[in-house]
Amino acid sequence: MTKRTSAVFTLLIFVSTSVTAQQTPSAADMERMVSQLQARHISANAPPDSSFSKILDRDVRAYLAAHQLPSKKVMIESLRKGATQSGVSYPKYYIWIRATDAASHHVEGAMRVAAIDRVKFEVTDFTPTDTIRTDPASLAAIYPSPIIPAIRQHAAIR
């Protein structure tokens, strides 16, 4: 059973044991149950605080190097505090990166990364500054609307 299937199964068991046959859960009860499941899913996948930054840095550098982008010096800034959890997908983090190499080549942009099994991050999307400036509407397909203004600000779009 995958972790995602397990998470759904856990929710179903939680709901079925929390509700008797005569009652249906209120909207508040359902929201509380979903919030609890999301929190469990985040804690099951996000690296511990003690190694979070180190793992994130390692995996962002690996992504940049694999895509032949500068990766010698990498600066990472969070665009949103904490993880975003939707359904049973892996928790997502939204970051802004700036990277250079020994020849002073430079890249920066927004990234969406997924925390997986407490040991790694997978870059699911990278949107370089040039793309943000030429096609800012494309951000809406990848990033949550509350962080788009921060992305635009980092890319110096008014």
Q: Which tens digits make up the pLDDT trace of 21-39?
A: 557 888 888 888 777 887 8
Task: List, in sequence order, every beta strand (DSSP E) within the chain.
Answer: 73-78, 92-100, 106-116, 120-128
CA distance 138 to 112: 14
**Contact call for residues 96 and 112 (beta carbons, < 8 A):** no
What is the share, in percent, of the chain residues with pLDDT greater than 70? 85
Give residue-wise pLDDT tens across range 44-79.
Answer: 899 999 999 999 999 999 999 999 999 999 999 999
Name the pTM for this structure.
0.80
Phi, psi of 89, rounded to the nearest 5 degrees: -70, 170
Q: Residue 158 — very low, low, confident or very high, per pLDDT cuts 50/70/90? A: low
**Contact call for residues 74 and 98 (beta carbons, < 8 A):** yes
Residues 6+ apart with CB under 8 A from 138: 127, 131
**Contact call for residues 104 and 98 (beta carbons, < 8 A):** no
Pairing of strands 106-116, 92-100: antiparallel
